[in-house]
Structure 1
Amino acid sequence: MATRGDSYEAIMARLRQEMPSLAEQLDQEVRHGRMVSEKDLRQEGRYDERASRLAETELPPLGKSDVSVIPYTEDERFELVRDSLLTLAETMFATRSSALKVAMERAMEPEIRFGDPELEVLSRINLPEETERANIALRTVRGLLADDRDPHPEIS
């Protein structure tokens, strides 16, 4: 049975191939760890571990207003990647869908052209096609990540 750590590694391997800049951003976040307060360290049962390491290096103990950086757990790393991918896919779909809706409401052409026609070949974005592609991507991401918390399962 695959663990979340295995799932995290599989997702990151694929991202490194297909979306290297996103993979690098997520790698950096995971390497930096997460910041927690002294109170949170106590609640998580990690305060004694941190206090002993600080004592070994002859540093002062954490105070109530101090924060510490701790590594992400396997589950936290998976959730970080999962939430990032879902947010990216949801944002892609929402922005394209909104742009298409505005174009249709205002009887505008559903194709956007970029560039100067006198100097270059124009780049084009067909909003209905891009919206459908983003919708497919969103459904695929949700399916791959088995999002039980999905508030919008009916996107079509």
Structure 2
Amino acid sequence: MSVENEQYVLIMERLKADFPDLAAQLDQELKLGRAVSGQKLRREERYERATRLEEAHLPALGKTDVAVVPYSGEERVELIREALLTLAETMYASRQAALKLTTERGMEQEIRFGDPEEENPSFIHLREETDRARVVLETVRDLLFESIDEMQSEGAR
């Protein structure tokens, strides 16, 4: 198994355990494959598709036609990296914007959810959530760049 496939399996196992919804969404995206114009298909892919189309008595794939091809191991890992980084960046930016808004307008920085008359309404403290989101973003960045460095050093061996 290639390094990228091993990484993919490990990352997806961890995501399925910790974030099953995110893992399911990524898994679905990865199974769908990526759209590529006929012109950008690699020679082997173009030949395989041409053969299958000919066997099915269909017209040849043109340069402007779009084909769906599976993600390579490296592309799958990169897609997961991008998704995790985007999620962490969005999580931090949204909390940071809410904190800034409440600070500028002198509003309360504790957000309560549910009926205020309930015994146990849920709530979050924006400053704490923003700090936690910043730590998560830094951790994700560190892990992703560490993984890239590890892959490059293993490839050099």
Instruction: Name the TM-score, length of structure 1 as normaliser.
Output: 0.86
Q: Which runs of 5+ in 2 are unaligned?
A: 149-157
SS of the counterpart of 2:145? coil
Q: Percent identity?
A: 54
1:60-99 alignment, distance < 5 Å: 60-99=59-98
SS of the counterpart of 2:107? coil
Which sits farther off after the overlay, 108-117 or 124-133?
Answer: 108-117
SS of the counterpart of 1:125? strand
Task: Give a deviation string over 1:98-136, Cα, whole Å, max 9, x none.
Answer: 111111111111111121223563210100110111111
Paired residue type of 2:26: L
Deviation at 1:53? 2.2
Greater helix proportion: 2
Partner of 2:121: 122
The answer to whether residue 48 in structure 2 is matched with residue 49 in structure 1 is: yes
Partner of 2:135: 136
Count of residues in Structure 1 that have an aligned counterpart in Structure 2: 146
Deviation at 1:148? 9.8
Q: Which runs of 5+ in 1 are unaligned?
A: 150-156
Paired residue type of 1:71: P
Paired residue type of 2:80: V
Partner of 1:10: 10
Paired residue type of 2:27: D
RMSD of Structure 2 on Structure 1 (CA): 1.9
Partner of 1:104: 103
